[in-house]
Amino acid sequence: MLRAYSASEAGSVTAIRDVLPQMQALVAAAPNNVNLRRAYGYLLWDAGRREESLAEARIALEYDPLNAGLYYDIGFVHREMDNLELAQIAIERSLELNPDQPNAYGEIVRINVAMGDGVGVIRNMFMAMELDSQDHELPSSVAIFLYKFGLIEEGDAFRDRAMLMAPNSPTARNANLQRAIAVGDQEKGLELARSMIVDNIEDRHGSYFGAVITVLHQAVQSGAAAGALEFMESNKPGFNDVDSTTIEFKVRRAQQAAISAWAATLIAEDLGKRVDAYWRVAELFGLTPEGDPLIYIQVLVIHGETEAAIEFGLANVFNEPITLAIYQEPIFDLPHMQLVVTDPRVQEQLQRWEAEKIDTREQIRTFLAERSE
């Protein structure tokens, strides 16, 4: 199983699918082996078979009804499928059975984000940090969340904590990057992002992806998209090869950030072909444009389906709470998205986001002030 995951991360198209029959046979031979069934469920999930993954966790629960890990698995799958209420019930049950689970509080945080509960995000991150005070990624994540709301001083306290524990970790470096972006220091942000790419950091919590986005988006805004694509290719050979089936998974995912750069450097016909070619291969690895609504909007725009992009965005992106939108907003400043952004219906939702941001910022600031008293 570990070999399958390693091969998949290294670029193998079939590694996960190839091991599934073997795992299925093992489960059939030992149906009451809960750990084996959980492992099989993970593989099903990574193969894109979500309902089957959920079914395996439920079957395992029949053999071990007090297993906190199984409730965690069920909550995770439900959250990923946007069944937020069911996800919360499952994770809370997991915590009832075993309160000493920082990762379970992390799942509650993701539910809080999806539900628009900014204070809940911070509160549950604190719960996770109390359980695992040595996890440097937790304060890094808090800092990034606070920076997204413009709470610089508050974020610095958590970034500094992460830097003391692991200054060269991907998430701590990402916290520094997001701080530079939050204070408007584009030069510093670009320097940090480029160094993260040169050092080939792990994509922990989207750290590598965030660096690639920063490099490419800033280049598009400054008219230097071609040079940025060359920079990516020089550091990750194959980055610009959308037909490749052997590049690392993190690079394949990071190629999605190149859509804006492709839009700035290719004529319409070639751009459409490039995007379509990317998805033909990416779908072999379980990535689909529909799986990421923000990406799908761009695909529709690139194919000249502006009205469809707007309608899809209103139903799947612009209706989201600000706690999710803070991670999506930068894309709407890019040139190829302007026909969507300038639509009056979208403008109305962007204004709602701004009002929510102000309100959530003050709620978080008040919560942190009261907690420090």
* DSSP string across 154-213: HHHHHHHHHHHH-TTSHHHHHHHHHHHHHTT-HHHHHHHHHHHHHTT---GGGHHHHHHH
Surface-to-core class of residue 25, CB atoms within 10 Å of its CB (0-12 exposed, 13-18 middle, 19+ buried):
exposed
- Is 190 in the same domain as 170? no
**Same domain? 167 vs 193:** no
pLDDT beyond 90 at 4: no
Q: How many domains does the chain have?
A: 3
For 322-331, write each residue's pLDDT tens digit.
999 999 888 8
- Quick one: 197 and 175 in the same domain? no
Please indicate, yes or no, whether residues 201 and 236 belong to a single structural domain of this protein: yes
Lookup result for tokens 């304060």: 139
User: Stretch 70-82: mean pLDDT, rounded?
Assistant: 94
Higher pLDDT, 123 or 42: 123
Weakest-pLDDT range from 135-139, 254-258, 263-267: 254-258
Tokens 């016909």 label which residue?
269
Q: Is residue 141 part of a domain?
A: yes
**Mean per-residue pLDDT, 118-142:** 97
Final residue of a structural domain among 184, 218, 240: 184
Final residue in a domain of this structure, among 151, 184, 217: 184
315 contact partners, CB below 8 Å, separation of at least 6:
none
- 160 and 214 fall within a common domain: no
Q: Please check whether residues 174 and 202 belong to one and the same domain.
A: no
Q: Is the pLDDT of residue 373 over 80?
A: no
pLDDT digits (tens, 9 = 90+) for 23-43: 888 888 998 999 999 988 988
Task: Look at residue 10 in the predicted model and tell me its pLDDT.
Answer: 40
pLDDT reading at 6 higher than 90:
no
Do residues 112 and 95 make contact, with C-beta atoms less than 8 angstroms apart?
no
Distance CA 28, CA 38 (A): 13
Tell me whether residue 261 is in a domain: yes
Structure tokens at 122: 């911070």
pLDDT above 90 covers a percentage of the chain that reads 76
Are 345 and 368 in the same domain?
Answer: yes
Greater confidence (45 vs 214) lies with: 214
Say if 178 falls within a structural domain.
Answer: yes
Domain edge (last residue) among 163, 184, 205: 184
Flag whether pLDDT at 19 surpasses 80: no
Domain membership of residue 199 (yes or no) is: yes
Pick 237 or 287 by higher pLDDT: 237
Residue 314 inside a domain? The answer is: yes
- Among residues 213, 144, 215, the alpha carbon closest in space to that of 178 is found at 144
Q: How far apart are CA 43 and CA 263, in angstroms?
A: 35
Question: Residue 271: inside a domain, yes or no?
Answer: no
End-to-end CA distance of the chain: 49
Q: Which domain holds residue 151?
A: 136-184
Q: Would residue 43 count as lying in a domain? A: no
Q: Which amino acid is at 226?
A: A
Averaged pLDDT score across all residues of the chain: 91
